[in-house]
Structure 1
């Protein structure tokens, strides 16, 4: 191999343009917000793409919550029933700064919204490559902090979905 030839590298697979948004909150409607490591000042809830086309959305949500926060859904103290599929989907244009992660020509993503109720005081262990810091905020303040309009709208829906879950 000459000095001008590139060594072969393992191609990083493109992201699947189908993702989850998980609004993690306490029964008192305090919402977990995290600051992105790759974009300081951009705050969000848990988000992440499917790892495989056939990965169930619930599995994507459970995996992303564990990866980004260290919160494990499915343990006795946080049963799978704590995670609710809100049956909402947002289709949005992928910000140009992140389009390189997707196959050429992919410009839109479908995001499925979930809510996860956790006890107040639930410990959070951030993935340092993904997030710099976190805050628990009242839901209205959390919505105001979101950089993404779809994330802000999901947080604003929180009281409606928690009331439905309580039979209200």
Structure 2
């Protein structure tokens, strides 16, 4: 079997989308029923800036737009949030890529570096899932969301939400 798509870059983002009340948005994977997670995704190019990867993945997977820095209004305020709401938590995880997904990476690649971001949104922001990637979503209090995640690094990031929110004040 020949590889038709380019291999995934083993550097990704994890974006914990949350409200001011510490509710977390979880999305269920279309390819693995029962696998709940935050928004995740790999860089499209080695030189893609991580915050741009985060912005792109959030929009692709949830329909929520993060406005460009300096853009106060963009005509779709109900579906977008200011750039300042996307915060790099300066936290990275290196983990073993699950065997079921290793075929997406170059031969011999077994580890991924994941960079964690938080995104503060209003609780009533509309969510539109990418149907090929996710089937359902739910808002949960952060501890329940952490318990629901299949990924240990995702669960750990969610549990750190109160600390990162306190630091943002």
With normalisation by structure 2, the TM-score equals 0.92
2:86 to 83, 87, 96: 83
Query: In structure 2, the residue corresponding to 1:116 is in which secondary structure?
Result: strand
Instruction: Find the counterpart in structure 2 of residue 38 from structure 1.
Output: 31
Q: Over the residues paired in the alignment, what is the CA RMSD in angstroms?
A: 1.4
Aligned runs of 1:48-63 on 2, under 5 Å? 48-63=41-56
Instruction: Find the counterpart in structure 2 of residue 119 from structure 1.
Output: 122
CA distance in 2, matches of 1:10, 1:47: 23
Q: Which moved more, 1:45-54 or 1:9-18?
A: 9-18
Answering whether residue 153 of structure 2 is matched by residue 150 of structure 1, we say: yes
- The structure 1 segments of at least 4 consecutive aligned residues displaced by more than 4 Å after TM superposition are none
Question: Looking at CA atoms only, which structure, 1 or 2, has the larger radius of gyration?
Answer: 1
Instruction: Find the counterpart in structure 1 of residue 17 from structure 2.
Output: 24
Gaps of 5+ in 1: 1-5
Aligned runs of 1:87-166 on 2, under 5 Å? 87-166=90-169
Instruction: Find the counterpart in structure 1 of residue 60 from structure 2.
Output: 67
With normalisation by structure 1, the TM-score equals 0.92
Query: In structure 2, the residue corresponding to 1:163 is in which secondary structure?
Result: helix
Gaps of 5+ in 2: none
How many residues matched? 159
Q: What is the CA-CA distance between 1:10 and the residue it aligns to?
A: 7.9
Per-residue Cα deviation, 1:52-108 (whole angstroms, up to 9, x for no partner): 000000000000000000000016341100000000000000000000000000000
Per-residue Cα deviation, 1:122-161 (whole angstroms, up to 9, x for no partner): 1100000000100000000000000000000000010000
